[in-house]
Structure 1
């Protein structure tokens, strides 16, 4: 009985297995193709690929092409492998175009190893094969491999197509291969592809990425009919090169040509407006974004908020923020940053506290706001809060905290931050390392600065050298600063900021010969001298009593700001060239430069040296009457010296009586001395009485020398 039951059960199970077994696949290629397509149609791509892989029948080439395309859409690498395997197995000489399609499919799915294996195994290749492999490398960020393959292709005499050139140019831009880009440009011209707007736009793009914006613009101007892509590329490259004004100009030209910008181009050009505080242009672009219905794009609305905030129009920024349908972390952070950078830290903190989510950028924006407003205690309290509420601390945060330590200054707190930097692996970050070096220097801990500078020897750049050099110069150690400068030349090229510091050090110790050598170095190496460097040169030559050299440096300056004028005027004043000072001031007024308090201090000193009492009084009056400047203490002291030194005692007494404040002790001492010199008893007694009132424990005895 048991045996019979067991036999029946075994029979039933076998019957069930037979029923579940799939029906045999058709051997007819047409019928098999229909089965495969039905599986694909109902989402069974994997099943269709498995059927093909297990089949020994040949299939239409069009089916392979279709299935490769579907596999790419689904990122189905395994299914591509099955298709490739069946194609090669069932076709002794598979068509090259299908193998090219397989390489292309692998590339689009990011499987470069499969693509390269198939490429290497192909007995025959055509231009499409090379192009598929180059494109695969290019699209997957393997720029160097793409360029190496292109060079190999060229050496084998394979003709490059327009698609190949487009991929190669994209790789040149990624790898910043300017030399190769120019070679490819030559081949594009040689093969007659100059009229291809895609290639021409690619050339604009690659020259811009390589920092040759003038060549990019020249290439753009050569395009007969630039399309939307061409215009968007040139706008973006100008922005990335830091020329925001030209980016905006090109954007407006684009609009006049009825070209439609992409939404990200609108965002880019709004960033360009932020870079030069172009609020007017930003308003116009805002209006245009409404017209073309991209204002509500998340990227555009966020950039609008940021642009208005950076340009100081927080009311407009708030309006866009309030109207935005999808406020996100970026828009909240932009509002916080805008208020913080405008000095409205209370409003910024209120917004910060309302934020539904925060990231490290939000925390950094609020911290930077406190720093910008010099609210050091609040900044430190905020750092403590940040440590309690988040672990998101990055290199920017640490740089800000180190800047706070430098500003307070608090070297002990800086050392604690240094320990945190080591424990969390930030010591290899150059930005943090330079901030740490700067902190030690500003806190006056030059020993720690020097030790840290040596420890970061594998990292340091010209910013590191500048920080160390400036630290020594700031603390009056000019000789050591010069030694650092000469050592710097053996490791890196200095920046223009270095020269201002080292020239100031030369001026402090009257090192004329070294100053001349630095000047010669600047000229030999083709540095563009800005107003700061020219001012430092003028100051150095003036303090070293080499006024003629200072005037030569000053005269060749194409644009002169008030700082440069002041450097030259003070230099001449201190070197007894009062006549030249008066001529310089006349030229300054003709050229439309607006004088400041320092300018008039130099002029009054010149009037003292040139015995121009009346002229000095006229310049003093013109400060208020003509230039809307309120005279400062040093100007009143100069007028007292001008009147007193040349014996104009009546004018001196009148001037003292008309001053809008009580004379200071140094002023009274000068009046006392001049009264004794010119035997003016009444004024001298008054000055002595005033001095005694200011300093009662030490009575002043006024004595007139006996006139015998």
Structure 2
């Protein structure tokens, strides 16, 4: 029959031939029923052929109401326009329907879901129920998809309830969509329960749960799920392998990713664009660039996304030249650079601080009319800022017409990194005048810029303003404040901020913990340090962090408990250089030269190359009169490790030689080194010469000190004391007079005391300071102690 011939042609995508057949029917006066037009419209749906479908619609309208008002044709037209994502036309036709059946509702809800109108799709679901039409197994998956996209888990649970009442939960596609919805909403326990109750799980169901795990950072569970899937005899699909490759890349699991690749090969999965891209992405992310190149070469079809992935892989590995060469090959293939290509190259210029390359890319963007692209503008601003050209960063910002919040924050970040708090504040207020409301990132950057500029009180005030504006500080906000306080010498306040952060029910991360331990080390507060260590032990996820182990060793050493520092080091789970440096530094602090040298030698024996910090810590040891070991370490630095000594290393060697009485060697080293001596180096040599009564050298070095640091009161006091030892009282008076003329005063000494069991914090005392709240009580106790001492002496 003609109907079956038309239907067959439409299913095979031969729409033109089907139309020719309909024309032939019309020519022969053979009746063309509504079902014929319905089949042709369905064929247009298969091919997503909007133009042909509209022509059929026009013919239907010409033929009159018998066709145009036919319920079957009306429904088919709604489905056709919906499937072609022509929402406006579909909605107009849907609104005119005399009878809205489950098929027309399914079409409207489906198109809204596809084009991102999730709320509209869910409203359609509700309206459908209110009209007494029950959603079927074609409607529910789209409703679940909308819930997942919006992350409306409560609405999703309502849909789940409907599924159970309607008896649709046995349908594997409905159940899979529920599992997918719960996964996208982050409710993985419910996703797993739904999955476990599916009677005949197919690959779609397994993939739904697997994708949910990966999207929520549960990469290990996703890999385990692949193993379970294979045990049950379900063949992995391209989606399965792609998802497992993403999980492997996220967790840095090289072996797991290679196994997923092997599964794809064993199961004969064709290396098409989607699977090939996933494998390529995995190898690029884990740094196996040679494997990525092999996959790239083996792919038949390569689109811009494929090229971008390999270019990005090169940039991530610092292979900028290879990335540029790849771009040249890409152009030879007549492929145009898109925003991703250019932003990747801009990132390469940023990471290598290659301003010339960055400018060339910026010029390319301007020539090809891409300068207004917001992503490229943000990348360009960041590039110029990282390359030290804030002026050009501001020019790019000003030339961008449509500025989004990310662009504002990018320039704000540039100002914050440079400590330009004034410019950052101006930009902060300007963006609000432009009706761009700041988010938590904006506030964090403003606080950072103030702290980098030493404006602690202003930063604390801004932190309070953020909260009063309705923005809740996140973990980065609290950690930024804590780190800034520590950097600005306000360690006690940093500890208080840690407590407040925990009161706000935020859990510190590894960096927050290291900042808190640094504060304890600065305060020499063993009590607080032990409390934080206890918190680390109770929360075992921190125990595997090398940075935390390093901070613990440093904290215990600076708080006076070298034995505990040794125990932490002895129970280490990693053997990274920073941890060794912390322990060597601890031994240096306690004058344990032999232990420091032994640890240094074990580091060399283990094949770990020391760095500048290692040598600095070793040269900081007190070698006394025997400086031969220090000289050997200094020589090994150049001859054995190929390192170039910096000014600090020379300064420490000068200090060691001077302290050992080798003033001539110290002076010779200072004169021959490739750096200009700093004040600390001269001070060290001055003190040694003063003790050895080398008057001429004292005179020479004192002039050098006063010329290099004319406003340092400590230098005047030190020179004055040296003259006093020699009995040169006229020179002493001269020094005192110079200090008086310059308005310089000796900085008073300072001490910290923490009383065991007190939660108030650390008590700070300055010489001749009477401002302590318990000053009267302290003075009475001192008087009593003095009386007892005098009594004992008599």
Q: Secondary structure at the match of 1:454?
A: helix
Question: Residue 203 of structure 1: CA displacement?
Answer: 0.2
In structure 2, do the counterparts of structure 1 residues 571 and 490 end up closer, same or farther at CA, with 3 Å as the change threshold?
A: same
Alignment of 1:433 with 2:411, yes or no, is no
Which residue does the alignment assign to 2:629? 655
What is the correspondence of 1:436-447 to structure 2 with a 5 Å cutoff? Answer: 436-447=411-422
Which of 613, 617, 620 matches 1:638? 620
Which residue does the alignment assign to 1:173? 148
Question: Residue 549 of structure 1: CA displacement?
Answer: 1.6
Q: Secondary structure at the match of 2:138?
A: helix
String of CA shifts for 1:629-655, please: whole Å, max 9, x gaps.
64834223332x2x43xxxx4xx2443
Alignment of 1:233 with 2:208, yes or no, is yes
Question: Residue 184 of structure 1: CA displacement?
Answer: 0.9
Which residue does the alignment assign to 1:551? 530
String of CA shifts for 1:129-186, please: whole Å, max 9, x gaps.
6556544544565432332232233345544433333332233234332211111101
Alignment of 1:562 with 2:546, yes or no, is yes
Any gaps of 5 or more consecutive residues in structure 1?
Answer: 1-29, 676-682
Aligned counterparts of 1:34 and 1:332: Cα–Cα separation in 2: 45
String of CA shifts for 1:184-211, please: whole Å, max 9, x gaps.
1012122332211111001011112223
Aligned counterparts of 2:672 and 2:34: Cα–Cα separation in 1: 111
What is the correspondence of 1:562-581 to structure 2 with a 5 Å cutoff? Answer: 562-575=546-559, 577=560, 580-581=561-562
String of CA shifts for 1:471-509, please: whole Å, max 9, x gaps.
222232222222222222233222322222211222245
Aligned counterparts of 2:299 and 2:456: Cα–Cα separation in 1: 56
Alignment of 1:318 with 2:293, yes or no, is yes
Which of 445, 448, 455 matches 1:467? 445
Alignment of 1:518 with 2:497, yes or no, is yes
Aligned counterparts of 1:126 and 1:332: Cα–Cα separation in 2: 47
Which of 499, 504, 507 matches 2:483? 504
Which of 664, 668, 672 matches 2:650? 664
Residues 100, 132 of structure 1: 8 Å contact kept: no
Aligned counterparts of 1:69 and 1:690: Cα–Cα separation in 2: 90
Residues 416, 449 of structure 2: 8 Å contact kept: yes
Aligned counterparts of 2:532 and 2:451: Cα–Cα separation in 1: 23
Q: Secondary structure at the match of 1:288?
A: helix
In structure 2, do the counterparts of structure 1 residues 454 and 47 end up closer, same or farther at CA, with 3 Å as the change threshold?
A: farther
Alignment of 1:405 with 2:379, yes or no, is no
What is the TM-score of this pair, normalised by structure 2? 0.71
Question: Residue 470 of structure 1: CA displacement?
Answer: 1.5
Which of 351, 356, 364 matches 1:386? 364
In structure 2, do the counterparts of structure 1 residues 476 and 703 end up closer, same or farther at CA, with 3 Å as the change threshold?
A: closer
Aligned counterparts of 1:657 and 1:37: Cα–Cα separation in 2: 91
Question: Residue 660 of structure 1: CA displacement?
Answer: 3.9
String of CA shifts for 1:576-611, please: whole Å, max 9, x gaps.
x1xx232232233224343635654556546655x7
In structure 2, do the counterparts of structure 1 residues 429 and 119 end up closer, same or farther at CA, with 3 Å as the change threshold?
A: closer
In structure 2, do the counterparts of structure 1 residues 45 and 523 end up closer, same or farther at CA, with 3 Å as the change threshold?
A: farther
Aligned counterparts of 1:35 and 1:72: Cα–Cα separation in 2: 15
In structure 2, do the counterparts of structure 1 residues 433 and 46 end up closer, same or farther at CA, with 3 Å as the change threshold?
A: farther
String of CA shifts for 1:258-286, please: whole Å, max 9, x gaps.
43444354344333333333332333333
What is the correspondence of 1:23-62 to structure 2 with a 5 Å cutoff? Answer: 43-44=19-20
Which residue does the alignment assign to 1:208? 183
Alignment of 1:221 with 2:200, yes or no, is no
Aligned counterparts of 1:495 and 1:50: Cα–Cα separation in 2: 71
Kindly tell me the number of residue pairs found equivalent between the two proteins.
Answer: 649
Aligned counterparts of 1:209 and 1:195: Cα–Cα separation in 2: 21
In structure 2, do the counterparts of structure 1 residues 534 and 666 end up closer, same or farther at CA, with 3 Å as the change threshold?
A: closer
Residues 478, 508 of structure 1: 8 Å contact kept: no
Q: Secondary structure at the match of 1:162?
A: coil
What is the TM-score of this pair, normalised by structure 1? 0.78
Which of 290, 294, 313 matches 2:265? 290
Any gaps of 5 or more consecutive residues in structure 2?
Answer: 10-14, 636-644, 694-724, 726-794
Which of 559, 564, 568 matches 1:583? 564
Question: Residue 514 of structure 1: CA displacement?
Answer: 4.1
Question: Residue 416 of structure 1: CA displacement?
Answer: 1.9
Aligned counterparts of 1:392 and 1:106: Cα–Cα separation in 2: 34
Residues 104, 136 of structure 1: 8 Å contact kept: no
What is the correspondence of 1:329-478 to structure 2 with a 5 Å cutoff? Answer: 329-355=304-330, 356=332, 357-360=335-338, 361-372=340-351, 374-383=352-361, 386-387=364-365, 390-393=368-371, 394-421=373-400, 425-426=401-402, 428-457=403-432, 458-478=436-456
Aligned counterparts of 2:234 and 2:8: Cα–Cα separation in 1: 43
Deviates more, 1:134-143 or 1:187-196: 134-143
Aligned counterparts of 2:35 and 2:175: Cα–Cα separation in 1: 34
What is the correspondence of 1:260-279 to structure 2 with a 5 Å cutoff? Answer: 260-279=235-254
User: How well do the aligned residues superpose, as a CA RMSD in angstroms?
Assistant: 4.3
Residues 569, 599 of structure 1: 8 Å contact kept: no
Aligned counterparts of 1:70 and 1:302: Cα–Cα separation in 2: 31
In structure 2, do the counterparts of structure 1 residues 230 and 607 end up closer, same or farther at CA, with 3 Å as the change threshold?
A: same
Aligned counterparts of 2:550 and 2:519: Cα–Cα separation in 1: 13
Question: Residue 353 of structure 1: CA displacement?
Answer: 2.1
Aligned counterparts of 1:130 and 1:384: Cα–Cα separation in 2: 49
Question: Residue 354 of structure 1: CA displacement?
Answer: 2.5
